[in-house]
Chain A
């Protein structure tokens, strides 16, 4: 059982002078064996609460903690992280940074090793966990060869190897495609059936609908709602929407429409694009594909279908990519494409270089124009931040800076790589609006995404990749097209 009594926590920033409170006066009690969903918009304090449950607060993240949290009757302040790790297993959001070993078997054995279990017992335990969670086929593999979904499965396995009673997951599905989400769901189902307590903080709700026992809704650091599964499911979709939550059932998205853009005046023609990977099998082979200019095209497909590779080839980032791209009567080589494409990356930290926001935008501009910058800053809601260091901003603000730089570059093709992974409803819609505006300015946009709701809010055309080829390609015009799209995202 977990119990919180009047918990408040503030992170210290700016050398301990500034502090910002993330949770305020939170009290709750979580029963053994229950499956609890923590939800709420970004910055509502979900992540902080999960960190309190797994002991990272107060033992790792610095800040001021008031009130007490108890795990099985013991105050977490008096337990060490080592003690807590026996009781609570954690899975984090970013699959790139939660593995300590480079091979899967050692990773699962890592926890038991740290706890000094004997060798024979560890081997037995690893076997047991693998068969229990159905991840035997992933053993003895390099972590770097796994897809995002497989990585999250190993992360669960690694947590389960210590055999804790409580599992805390912080947005585990953020980087996963629909297939991997189904896998994750199955795994959570197994944990639930073993009688474990599961606490999961998440934006995507649809895959959890049948698992949850209780929903805790947070807002501005406080618990604003505490529902049983029945109550939460009985809520009308519109109420969840007001709360800033993603839909519980993807079916409701069938009627999502967005403004119709001007008819395409020309198009991008991609022909005979081929690319073979250096380090892994499989090739990308796009015979012929068309992007309508001035519109938004979504690229969908499972992890490993070649979506990212396709976008990288299109940008001209892959030198060994063959094939041509034709636009406006001009055929562009890979090298030339670097000058006409701009990619907003999934991790925008990689593309913010300068000391302040204004300079960041200036860096992209060919013809420096003060007025234009001001207008752009205003459009992107960045005017007040123009003097700030881009790296000091929040995730959403950073993304807006990166998008502003993309717009400033005046390149005709803008590519977004997973722009909404881990965003709540409001922020996702904001990004969708921005994407629509970019297209309205006559630019062509390509979006690589796993987010069906986002696609329905801004995309006009869908390219579905599978195993490196175009599986199908269709416009999104009416309800039938939307159902076709949603079918791909449904739980399998």
Chain B
């Protein structure tokens, strides 16, 4: 079982960023690449922003993912800049839609993926604490992160059981397929949730004392650099707005 949402351990080679920095990058990318208007210098600045997830991907040794990312983002950027205007109109219409979606979504998705796979649960909890998120939000969230891999495991076990009984595509009572999967799923999830909570309670979770945290997160030189790059995007956008009048 290697599907995990929040990472459990890391190899020392990657650039370690504070989860808050990653969150800031994610927000910045969403605002300017996903939702931006690409006016003036912004159309060049987004390229700089798009480099951040690439650097992080490369540093954590995900070469294949990096190449795919370069192809998708770089490719659709080139298309949009140089080729689209030369295409005949019906093809152009479809191409604009596709490249637009790829261009705008790719960096955000990659960054989101990095945020959840490259952050440990403890780091996440600590970061949330430092952002003064209330406990009643962060606690259930951390349980949820813990819960996903387990639920995925259950899901695939039930899928196996269904395959063995010939329930699947082409099964004559198609209406029941969802029921057959969801009922055991829910019952197993409830049971696991109960056992998990019981185990956590016997380890003193939810006590009246303020919880401490062993991982020490904090801003380092790489965080400051990346935060500067992000801040630059906001400055550039404001500049664009002012000069437009």
Contact = CB atoms under 8 A, between A and B. Distances in A.
Contact of B211 (A59, A89, A102, A114): A114
B209 A116 contact: yes
B37 to A, nearest CB: 40
B199 A96 contact: no
B172 to A, nearest CB: 11
A352 interface: yes
B205 A98 contact: no
A484 B187 CA distance: 42
A140 interface: yes
Interface in A85-122: 85-86, 88-90, 92, 94, 96-103, 105-106, 109-119, 122
Contacts of B208: 82
B196 interface: yes
B211 A113 contact: yes
B100 interface: no
B213 interface: yes
A144 B198 CA distance: 20
Interface stretch (A225-233, A292-300, A338-346, A377-385): A338-346
Given A122-B212, A122-B214, A142 B8 contact: yes
B204 A338 contact: no
B192 interface: yes
A371 B170 CA distance: 28
Interface in A192-209: none
A338 B2 contact: no
Given A100-B146, A114-B211, A350-B154, A364 B122 contact: no
Contacts of A303: none
Interface residues of B, dominant DSSP: helix
Given A60-B201, A82-B207, A317 B163 contact: yes
B158 A115 contact: no
B87 interface: no
A266 interface: no
B223 interface: no
A279 B2 CA distance: 6
Q: How large is the interface on B (under 10, 10 to 19, 20 to 34, 35 or more residues)?
A: 35 or more
A179 interface: no
A56 interface: yes
A82 B206 contact: yes
Contacts of A123: 214
Given A113-B213, A116-B211, A144-B2, A85 B157 contact: no
B214 A98 contact: no
A353 interface: yes
Contact of A159 (B180, B195, B203, B215): B203
A114 B149 contact: no
B198 A117 contact: no
A347 interface: yes
B164 A341 contact: yes
Contact of A86 (B121, B184, B192, B204): B204
Interface residues of A, number: 74
Contact of A118 (B197, B201, B212, B216): B212
A338 B192 contact: no
A82 B6 contact: no
A434 interface: no
B166 interface: yes
A280 to B, nearest CB: 7
Given A102-B8, A113-B211, A123-B214, A391 B164 contact: no
B150 interface: yes
A409 interface: yes
Contacts of A312: 160
A103 B160 contact: no
B183 interface: yes
B131 to A, nearest CB: 18
Contacts of B195: 92, 94, 97-98
A92 to B, nearest CB: 6
A97 B164 contact: no
Interface string B164-196: 111100000000100110011001100110011
A89 B200 contact: no
Contacts of A349: 184, 187-188, 191
* Most central of B196, B198, B202, B204 by chain A CB within 10 Å: B202
Given A119-B213, A317-B164, A97 B121 contact: no
* Most central of B145, B149, B184, B197 by chain A CB within 10 Å: B184
8 contacts: A96-B150, A96-B192, A98-B199, A102-B149, A119-B212, A162-B204, A350-B157, A350-B160
Given A100-B146, A278-B2, 20 more contacts: A80-B207, A81-B201, A97-B150, A100-B199, A100-B203, A101-B8, A102-B7, A106-B121, A106-B122, A111-B204, A116-B212, A126-B214, A145-B1, A145-B2, A159-B202, A351-B158, A353-B165, A353-B167, A353-B183, A354-B180
Task: Return the 4 tightest CB-CB contacts between A and B, nearest first.
Answer: A279-B2, A82-B207, A142-B8, A351-B161
